[in-house]
Every structure is written in structure tokens, then in C-alpha cells.
Amino acid sequence: MAVKILKRRPLSLLEKTYLPQILIGLKITLRNLFRPSVTLQYPEERPDIPEGYRGVPTLVKDANGREKCVACQLCEFVCPPRAIRITSRELETGGEDAHIEKAPDEFEIDMLRCIYCGYCQEVCPEEAIWLQDVFSISGYSREAMVFDKEKLYQLGGTLPDNHFKWDRKKAEEEAAKRH
Amino acid sequence: MSAGKVTDGRIDVFIDGEKVRCPPGTNLIDLVEGMGKEIPHYCYHPKLSVSGNCRMCLVELGTPAMDRETGKPVLDEDGAPKIMYFPNPVIACATRLTSGMRVRTQSAKVRECREAVLEFLLINHPLDCPICDQAGECLLQEFATDYGRGYSRFIEKKVVKPKRTVLGPRVMLDDERCILCSRCVRFCQEVVEDDVLGFVDRGTYTTLTCYPGKQLENNYSLNTVDICPVGALTSRDFRFRMRVWFLKETPSICTESSVGVNTLVGSREGKVYRITPRRNDGVNDTWMSDSGRALYKRIEDENRLIDFRVNRLPVRPEDALSEALRRLQGDKVAFVGSGQSSVEEHFLFNCLSRAAGSVLNCLVSRTREGDGFLISNDANPNVRGALCLGFIDTLPEANLTGLAEKINRGEVDAVVVHNEDLTTAGIGRSLLEKVEVIYLGSHGNGASETASVVIPGLTVFEKSGTFINQQFRLQKFLQAVPGPPGVLDDLVTISRLLNLLGKDEGRLATPAAVWAVLSRRLKCFEGISFDTLPETGALLDGSAFRSLPFCEGPSLHFEPETGTVEARA
Amino acid sequence: MDVFKILGITAKALVVVLVLLSLSNLAILAERKVSSWIQGRVGPNRTALPIIGAIPFLGAGLTRLGLFQPLADGLKLLLKEDPVPDHVNKFYYFLAPVAAFIPAVTAITVLPFGEIVRNGTPRPIVLADLDIGILFIFAVASLGVYGVILAGWASNSKYPFLGGIRASAQMISYELALGLSILPVFMWTNAPGSQAGLNLFAVVQGQEHFWNVFWMPVSALLFLVAIFAETNRLPFDMAESESELVSGFSTEYGSFKFGLFFLAEYAHIVVGSGVFTVLFLGGWRLPFIASYYSGGMTGAVLSVLVFCAKTFLVVFLFMWVRWTLPRFRYDQIMKLGWTVMLPLSLLNIIGYALFLAVWDGI
Ligand code: SF4
Ligand code: SF4
Ligand code: SF4
Ligand code: SF4
Ligand code: FES
């Protein structure tokens, strides 16, 4: 690799006094002095949350109120700080959602560990975990900052589902039974 | 089939242009696997017959052209043998190699075949991966990543098949996921000869089922779950409990019997979730029993010992050890070892018995009817370890009559027991109460209840060590999970006691350290070190014990020495 | 002297010192506001007093300006727990803030901040009209550095120690230039025949028509730079340099003692600005308006107000520069002091001497 040596331009006498540069700097700061401030008066004013903002990870239900998560534990695996803890259970036969077979028994996210990377949302095959617009959470103890399933669903609410994979599957199953 | 043809004369074959030497008749898939490459396959299994139904293993194959008249190879202009490639790809699993064969495993045509086969396999496959227990170790997933197209061109209705079919007490079937490879069917027919599985219906409706009125309930049924390349067969015990990618797999040895089945213990964060067989062609091939897989439940057994106790009161470990020491210092101490202890524990236990001037060493036998396959008649995994180390020189007995007599005569006033229940071994409670019992073990039993000193120990999953199986094969197991908090490794306990007795052996608290001594001290262990012991174990010379009437009958890869069977009878 | 006179003088002194301290406090607030404005922030705007803050418009305005903030800050510093580290030299540790604070407020005594016309003769409004005013100011102000050095040494810990050493070296280097830079002012004021001496009032009177800053820009600049250095302000805040020395000499100080240091720094700035105003900006005079403060009390108040306004402009300059320039490196400061400031101030004197000789010759 060729090494190219760049010569610094020697400073002129005036520049050596630094005075013009200082004056230029003073001019800039003076101009800033009269610019409007950019501060957001937080509790009264709230920021606009842009589309795709990565707030607190939450669990969502589909339009029928069914919990979307099937406890595949991919999010638990991918989560860099290991904030997620899932235990799964088998859905009883005969129930409304029995065809899905598996659901989370407990789903915990330690919000003190979460780094809001969004990997869990990206990896989720069921589009069940979403980082939405909640950005301000607090608690009085470490335990209170470990959000359980109920809390996560409460934060997540319902998101539109474009696939209805499991509903279609159920329909197919029933159609096959009729034959 | 293959074994008969193997001769000394090796042949040259060419895999993707690379020259390899192998015995004639070698299976192509096995050979390529030995080269560190892979030919994708589903239905082929090295320990089952070839059925060739999945077509995933298609490769291009060529043989040297022969002149029909002279029988000599035809040469091209350069003088190299002329190769005739078959016009259509052939399946690798049914290919036995002959001299000069050429194989293309990576050509465009082969790739195209794999893509097509995979697309057909996937048309009716459910989108189950998120809830499928096989995900993460599923061959369909793996090859779909390599050869799948990423979306489905199939717009018709998928075939719906039964899910959650109970095949047996331990196995569950999801028919939609089955790719009809018939590995499970062949396993039942060929390996356990319990022919209960089969296919019904035709075409895309072909379905795996159990013979009406029967169940897949033999003691090897869970092997079908292991060999099923997809998630069609799942273990009802392991089902939905943990994703396989979280499991840390530690090589271990099954303690169910003296066969010494090689296993992998799958654990996550200190909790064992499942046990699967580990391939060892000299011991268990790729199989293991269902009952052996359930042994991990003993870790969290109710009667697990976790406290150090003196006269039934919890004490600090040091106090328990010094109390034990006080009783060891008498001159009427007997030692009852265990066939479940590792070689290292036998060694230190033996040292301890000598240091304490033991009046009697014995072992409790555990015989029962084996199945002639992977469960032998001896439920003690390591009797031969105790023999090799000289802790005992006769076979263990079911009733410790010798000890009972000595206690009755007052020649023994303290017994050190490792993991054994003396109350079921011919020494009743009333007799036990006459002596002081020092109990060292992982689980409580009749002996620990009457013991004056109880020192908790670890199970095989929580420690490392070695066993010597019925073939005199030395095999090692490694620690999979940590023991309960505060509980000492048995090696540490025994070596501390030795230390307290003023013996040098007190520093040998790890298997590696013990082996450094053993390999020097005992002729049969010469040249062996714990760290370099191969995964498949090392065969020791057991001829010194040939005259002993061992109780094992024939089982997989094991024939008892002539004479012993009669001696048993 | 009778008792009443003494009491009167004491009262006067107290008032002046209190005003100075309030101004210093305001300067602290101003610094926070100026810095935040320059940086596009809003600065303190939340603290409110219960009743005054509730007055419509006015209360909200005061709150937004943060005018109640100094009160809250002061109270906080007063009421906070005052930890004294074990390893310090207790006596000097307690002495240091006082040693820093007293000179800062003492210097104000000889600084004239207005004029009052009595019986036709203008008299300065000042606590003590000393003939050697400027000398007194220099003498007292340079005592302030002892506070810093003492704090650095008594803290018995490495960062304060380094801060103290740097402060003393810097003080010595710039004191020379400081003294030399103002000689031309007095050469000018002490025209042949005048009796001005080193009196500051006379300096202001001498700028009746034209401020010194226009006559002697080099002197003004040198003085300004030296004052920056003397008051330990950025870009010369070697004693503190929080990016390298944690908090410099005051690292081990907290609560009220820290408050004293803080107040002293700003009192220094206010007094320094006042001196600059007197020496170079014509004190309370406005150019080309010869003497309109003749009207007794009104004139006096007016003059004080004008003086304060000018002083505050200089204080603003202090802040403006602070939030514009980065800190010098220690060796750069030394180099600047000895190889630039000192020769330049010498040349400046010689130049002015020649200039005055020629001027008087005309
Ligand atoms: S956002 Fe990232 S850190 Fe937070 S839970 Fe999801 S994967 Fe874990
Ligand atoms: S990745 Fe999605 S479906 Fe899987 S466990 Fe997480 S939230 Fe549930
Ligand atoms: S068998 Fe394999 S491909 Fe099919 S659902 Fe299970 S993991 Fe996915
Ligand atoms: S259940 Fe599994 S092993 Fe049996 S045929 Fe189907 S895919 Fe093959
Ligand atoms: S592995 Fe060869 S056809 Fe299935």
C-alpha cells in the first residue's frame, strides 16, 4: 500500500493568533443563541412515534382474540441479552384452539435486560411479538420489571393478521372430516 | 451384506473427482459421510435395511466401460479408462461401490433432483415447524434450507391427515408430518421384531398406522422417535417441554445394566430434559431402551439426599466428615461398595477400606431377567470395575450373609455403605441397629434411615467418571448438570476422608487425577488417561476374571465366555 | 470616628457585598441559561415559588426564565449533607473555601461603580476611594488562588492536587501579563500635570470622550485574556478541567463548601468584568455624552445602572466564550502565557510610550 504523506498547509500569521477563528466561533454560537430550542417538554409534550418504532416488546392477539404465540421459543433463543423466558404447554384436545396444539404457559420478558433490538419480532414465525410504541416503563423493584404474559398481552393488544394460517388450517381439517 | 465382501484388497473410487480407497461393496452414503461430506438422505439408516423410497439421495454414477470381448477396460485417447455415466441418476443408499466408480454428488443435475424431490415432499407438509418438536434437528428443515425454493407452488388443498395419534404409551404420531420413509417400520420389523407399524391407503393418502388392536409399546419404541427424520414421531415424555436447540448434549453412559449403552444427556441450565442414544458400533449401535431414557427422573426423586446428617440431624459438611472419621478409626469396620459406583470411586473406596483396615469388603448384586438385546441380566453397570480394582475378588451376592454373620458375632461395629440399601440385601433393620452405619449416597433408603452419618452424593448425571461394562470395555461419562447446591462429589468426600486418615490419596478428587495414578499402578489400565479415553471406550483385558461365573447372557455385540453360562445354571 | 459613621460604613459595605453576591448568583443562572440557549436547549425552567409562581403571566415568565432556580440551588447546597473525607487535612480543608471566597468579595471595595455630583464636583460611588485602587484589586484578587491551591493540597488526593498545581502555575504566568497590560491605561490617565495616580475613578474620568478600548485595543485584549486566566474560566480552567481531573481542586468538596467555591468563581467574574468596564469601557460613561449625570440622585442611579449594564455585557462575553471555545492543553497555556502574552505586553508598553511621546510632542 502506497503511503501518501499529506503536508499541512502552514498557518498564516493572522491564523496563528487564532483570533479570526475565535471570532468565527463566537459568531456561530451567537447565532445559535437566538435559534429556537429543540427541547421537548417531556411529560407535557410527547414525541411523535414513527412507524416501525422499537418500543417495549409486547405480545399480541389476533382479530379473534386468540393468542398468537405458539411457544416456539425462537425469540427466547435469538434474544441477545436472554431477556425472554418461556414455558410451554400442550393445548387440550377438544378445545377451540386444539388444532394449534401448543401455547405458552408462561411468557416472561425481563425489561431490565431487554435492549430493544427487535430480533424477537423479526424471528417470530407467528408474528406474535411486536415492539410497539410504549417507551416509558417503570417499576419499584426488579421483579416488577419482569413482565409476565398477562401484562405483555395487555400492552400488546390486537394487531391485524394477514394470514390466518391456523384458521385456514382448521377450516381445511373440518372440510376433510365432512368428506 | 457388506461385511461378507470386505477383503484386504481395497478399491479406488472417485467422489467428485477425489480419489478414495475403500473396501469393495462399501455403501456410498457411508463412504461420503466418512469423507466429511454429505449426501442428503431420509430413508437410509446405517443400521437398517435399504428401502430406497425417499429418492433424496440421487447422485450421478459412472463405471469404467468394459470391452465385452476382452473383458478389459476401454481406454480413451489419453489412456485413461473411459467412464460410462448412467443416463439417469441413481440412489446412493442402494449403491455398493466397485472399482473405478465415479460419483458426482454436487452436479447441477443432482441438485435439480434434490430440489424436485424436496418440493414433492413438502407439498402436503404442514407449516408446523414453530410447534414441531423436531424443529432444529429435522432433516426436512435442513435440506429445505439447502434445496428448498422458499415458497410453495402447490395451490390445491393440502391433504389433511390425523394429528396427535397415540401410537403407544411413549410415542405420539403426527401423520401430516410423516414423509413415509419407513424407517420406523423397518426398525420394528428388523431390530426389535415387534412388527406393529405399517402403511395403509395409497398415493398422497398413504398413512402410517399401528396394527389394529396393537400398540407400539415395546421397550425400544422411543428409538423410532430418534430415527424418524422428521417430527412425525414424538416422545410423549419430551413433547413440548423444551426446544432441542437449547439442549446441551453431554456424552454419558446408561446405568440401566452392565451393557453400558452410550448416551447423550440433553440438559439446559442444570435440568435434564431427555436422554438419547449415542452411536457406538461396538456396544449399542444407535439404540437404547425406553426404560434407560427415564432414568434422569431420579435426579429430582423425592428421596434424594441433600443434607449432611449425623444421627438424623442436619450438620455442616465438616462435622459430618469428622463424625464419619471417628467411626472409621475403630478396628471393626466393614465396607459395602456399589456396582453403580464409577471406577474412580471404587479405587478411592478401596483405598479407604485399606486405610481403615476393613474386616470385610462386599458388593450387592442386582440380577434380573435381561432382554438379550440392550438390557443384560446384571443391573449393576460397573461390577467389573470393582473386580479390576481389587475391591472384591468374588462376584457380588444378593444377600450379604458374610456381613450379617460378622455383625451377629460382634466382629463389625461400623459399616461404610456406598449407595446400597442393606435392608433389602439380607441385613434387617434390627441387625443394622447393632452397628454404626456411615451412608454415602445420592438417594435415601433403608440403610440411610438407620445410618448414624449420612453424606449426600451425586447421580451419574452430575459427575464424571468411567464404567467397565460386560465386555470389559472402559467407557467414560461426563458431568451434564451441576449437583444440588452444597452436595459434594463422592470422589471429593472419599478423598477428604482419606486425607483425614492421613493418606496421600487425599488429593485425588477428580477422575483425571485418579487416572494418572491408576494407569501407573494397575497393569490392566496401563497407558490410559481420562482425557484421551476415546468416546467409544477402550477394551480391557478381562482374561484374569474368566473363571468367574458372570450372570450375563448374550446380548447385542456380546457373547458370554464359554462356560460361564453353565456355571450360572 | 464616631460609632454611627462606622455603622454606616458597615451597612454600606454589607449592602454592596449582598448585591455582589446576588449578582453572582444571577450570573450562575445566566450561565446555565446562556449555555442552554447556545446549545439549543431551554435550561432551568421548572422551579417555581408557590405564591409568586402562581401570579398569572409574571409567575409563569419568571419560572420559565428559571429565576427561582438560584434560590433552590442555594438552599440545596446549604441543606445537603456535608461529607468530609477521612484523608483530608481538616484545618486547611475548611480554610480553603473561605480563602477563596473572601478575596473575591473584598476586591469590590475599591471598585467605583457610579458617580454622584455634589456641589458641582463629581465624586465616585465606591466603598473606599483609594489612590492605589488598581493595585489593591490586583493584590487581593491574586490572593484568591491560595484558596484553590489550599483546596488542592488539603484534599490529599491526586486530582485536586494536580488542579491546585496547575492553578498556581497558571496564575504566576498570567499575573505578569495582567499587570503589564494595564500600564498604558495609567500612562494615558497620568498625563503630565495630572494627579490621578492609580486611582480608578480618575481612569473613568479620563475616558470622558473616548473609551480606552479604542485607544489601546491590544491592552484591552491582553487584559481580557489575562482576566480569563485569572478567574480560571474556560478556555483556561486548568484548575478544574473536569474532563481530565474529575472536578479539579474541588473534587473532594460538597454541599456548602463547594457552594462557596462556586460563588467565589462567579464573584470573581463579576468583579473582573467591573474592572474591565472601568479600565477600558469608560465605566458608567457613554461616549460623546460628556457629563449628563449632573442631576444629583437621579444621575447617580443612572450611572450605576449603566455601569451594571456594561459589566453584565462583559460577564456575558465570559460565558459566550466559555461555550464557544474548547479548553487549552496545559502546555499550550504555559506557552501562550510566557512566549506570547508576556512579550506582547512588554512591546505594548514600549509602543505606547513611543506613541505618547510623539503625541505629547505634537
Ligand atoms: S427486543 Fe431484543 S432484547 Fe428485547 S426481548 Fe426482543 S430480542 Fe430480546
Ligand atoms: S417467536 Fe413468536 S411464536 Fe415463538 S415463542 Fe416467541 S412470540 Fe411465541
Ligand atoms: S417435521 Fe420438520 S419440517 Fe416438518 S414441521 Fe416438523 S420441523 Fe418442520
Ligand atoms: S413416521 Fe417418521 S420414520 Fe416413520 S415413516 Fe414416517 S417419517 Fe419415516
Ligand atoms: S435414502 Fe436413498 S432413497 Fe431414501
Interval B142-181: pLDDT, tens: 999 999 988 889 888 888 999 999 999 999 999 999 999 9
What average pLDDT does this structure show over B471-484?
95
Report pLDDT for B303.
Answer: 92
Query: What does the domain layout of chain B look like in residue ranges?
Result: 11-118, 129-300, 309-567
What average pLDDT does this structure show over B25-29?
94
pTM of structure: 0.74
Tell me if A146 CB under 6 Å of ligand 1.
no
C75 in any annotated domain: no
What average pLDDT does this structure show over A73-96?
92
Tell me if B500 CB under 6 Å of ligand 4.
no
Cα–Cα distance, A5 to A7 (Å, whole number): 6
Cα–Cα distance, B112 to B58 (Å, whole number): 10
Report pLDDT for C170.
Answer: 84
Q: Name the most confidently modeled range: B485-489, C109-113, C306-310.
A: B485-489
Report pLDDT for C205.
Answer: 74
Do residue A32 and residue C42 have CB atoms under 8 angstroms apart? Answer: no
Tens of pLDDT, residues A91-143: 988 888 888 999 999 999 999 999 999 999 999 999 999 999 888 888 999 99
Do residue A39 and residue C321 have CB atoms under 8 angstroms apart? Answer: no
Closest by alpha carbon to B284, among B304, B307, B302, B260? Answer: B260
Cα–Cα distance, B386 to B395 (Å, whole number): 10
CATH class, range B11-118:
alpha beta
Dihedral angle of Cα A157, A163, A167, A169, to the nearest 10 degrees: -140
Q: Residue B496 is inside which H or E element, if any?
A: helix B490-500
Does residue C97 carry a pLDDT above 60?
Answer: yes
Q: CB-hemisphere CA count at 13 Å for B170?
A: 18
Beta-carbon contacts of residue B88 (< 8 Å; ≥ 6 apart): none
Q: CATH number of the domain at B129-300, out of 3.40.50.300, 3.30.70.20, 3.30.2020.30, 1.10.10.60?
A: 3.30.70.20
| Residue tagged 481403615 (cell numbers) | B356
What average pLDDT does this structure show over B16-39?
93
The domain in which residue A79 lies consists of 57-178
Q: Name the most confidently modeled range: B157-171, C94-108, C133-147, C253-267.
A: B157-171
Does residue B204 carry a pLDDT above 80?
Answer: yes
Searching chain A, which residue's CA lies closest to the CA of residue C221?
A19
Report pLDDT for C192.
Answer: 65
Residue B261, phi then psi, degrees to nearest 5: -60, 135
The length of chain C is 362
Ligand with smallest separation from the Cα of B94: 5
Tell me if B208 CB under 6 Å of ligand 4.
yes
Do residue C40 and residue A38 have CB atoms under 8 angstroms apart? Answer: yes
DSSP state of B93: G
On average, the pLDDT of chain C sits at: 82
Report pLDDT for B1.
Answer: 37
A169 in any annotated domain: yes
Q: Which residue has the higher pLDDT, B196 or A47?
A: B196
Compute, in angstroms, the gap from residue B46 CA to the centroid of ligand 5: 11
Compute, in angstroms, the gap from residue A129 CA to the centroid of ligand 1: 10
Does residue B105 carry a pLDDT above 90?
Answer: yes
Pairing mode, strands B271-277 and B309-310: unpaired
Do residue A25 and residue C324 have CB atoms under 8 angstroms apart? Answer: yes
The interface pTM score, or ipTM, of the predicted complex is: 0.83
Tens of pLDDT, residues C6-17: 888 888 888 888
On average, the pLDDT of chain A sits at: 89
Total domains in chain A come to 1
C40 in any annotated domain: no
The answer to whether B502 and B566 are in contact (CB under 8 A) is no
Our mutation pick for probing the ligand 5 site, out of B55, B90, B230, counting the most ligand atoms within 8 A of Cβ, is B55
Neighbours of B111 (CB within 10 A): 13
Searching chain C, which residue's CA lies closest to the CA of residue A24?
C324
Q: Which residue has the higher pLDDT, B326 or C21?
A: B326
Task: Please report which residue ranges of B233-280 form alpha helices under DSSP H.
Answer: none
Q: Which residue has the higher pLDDT, B137 or C285?
A: B137
Does residue C190 carry a pLDDT above 80?
Answer: no
Q: Which of C32, C33, C39 to mutate to test the interface with A (most CBs of A within 10 A)?
A: C39
Compute, in angstroms, the gap from residue B54 CA to the centroid of ligand 5: 5
Tell me if B139 CB under 6 Å of ligand 5.
no
Burial tier of B402 (Cβ tally within 10 Å: 0-12, 13-18, 19+):
middle
Does residue B22 carry a pLDDT above 70?
Answer: yes
Burial tier of A7 (Cβ tally within 10 Å: 0-12, 13-18, 19+):
exposed
Does residue B424 carry a pLDDT above 60?
Answer: yes
C258 in any annotated domain: yes
B127 and A CB contact within 8 Å: yes
What average pLDDT does this structure show over B82-99?
93
Closest by alpha carbon to C114, among C303, C332, C247, C328? Answer: C303
Report pLDDT for C293.
Answer: 61
CATH class, range B309-567:
alpha beta
Total domains in chain C come to 1
C284 in any annotated domain: yes
Q: What are the chain C neighbours of A33 within 8 Å (beta carbons)?
A: 34, 37-38, 320
Cα–Cα distance, B342 to B515 (Å, whole number): 12
Beta-carbon contacts of residue B225 (< 8 Å; ≥ 6 apart): B171, B233, B234, B235
Our mutation pick for probing the ligand 5 site, out of B43, B96, B186, counting the most ligand atoms within 8 A of Cβ, is B43
Q: Kindly give the number of the ligand 2 atom that is closest to the alpha carbon of A73.
A: 5
Does residue B569 carry a pLDDT above 50?
Answer: no
What average pLDDT does this structure show over C79-104?
86
Our mutation pick for probing the ligand 1 site, out of A113, A116, A148, counting the most ligand atoms within 8 A of Cβ, is A116
A99 and B CB contact within 8 Å: yes
Does residue B113 carry a pLDDT above 90?
Answer: yes
Report pLDDT for B504.
Answer: 74
Kindly list the strands in the beta sheet with B248-253, ordered across the sheet, starting from the edge strand earlier in the chain.
B248-253, B262-268, B271-277
Q: Which of B131, B152, B247 to mutate to test the interface with A (most CBs of A within 10 A)?
A: B131
Report pLDDT for C288.
Answer: 61
Report pLDDT for C295.
Answer: 63
Q: Residue C265 is inside which H or E element, if any?
A: helix C255-280
Tell me if B139 CB under 6 Å of ligand 4.
no
C119 in any annotated domain: yes
Searching chain A, which residue's CA lies closest to the CA of residue B205?
A176
Report pLDDT for B375.
Answer: 95
The answer to whether B511 and B466 are in contact (CB under 8 A) is yes
What average pLDDT does this structure show over B437-444?
94
What average pLDDT does this structure show over C120-127?
73
Cα–Cα distance, B101 to B104 (Å, whole number): 10
Cα–Cα distance, C224 to C344 (Å, whole number): 14
Compute, in angstroms, the gap from residue B181 CA to the centroid of ligand 4: 5
Does residue B478 carry a pLDDT above 60?
Answer: yes
CA distance A109 to chain C (A): 36
What average pLDDT does this structure show over B95-120?
94
B274 SS3 class: strand
A15 in any annotated domain: no
Report pLDDT for B566.
Answer: 46
Does residue B5 carry a pLDDT above 50?
Answer: no
B253 SS3 class: strand
Q: From the list A28, A34, A39, which residue is nearest C41 (CB)?
A: A39
A172 in any annotated domain: yes
Report pLDDT for C109.
Answer: 82
The answer to whether B448 and B439 are in contact (CB under 8 A) is yes
Report pLDDT for B340.
Answer: 94
Q: Name the most confidently modeled range: B322-326, C48-52, C185-189.
A: B322-326
C19 in any annotated domain: no
Model confidence at C362, in pLDDT bands (50, 70, 90)? Answer: low
Model confidence at B109, in pLDDT bands (50, 70, 90)? Answer: very high
The length of chain B is 569
Does residue A42 carry a pLDDT above 90?
Answer: no
The domain in which residue C297 lies consists of 84-361
Compute, in angstroms, the gap from residue B138 CA to the centroid of ligand 1: 26
Tens of pLDDT, residues B266-278: 999 999 999 999 9
Does residue B465 carry a pLDDT above 90?
Answer: yes
CA distance C74 to chain A (A): 25
Tell me if B228 CB under 6 Å of ligand 4.
yes
Tens of pLDDT, residues B502-534: 887 667 889 999 999 999 988 889 899 999 999
**One-letter amino acid of A35:** R
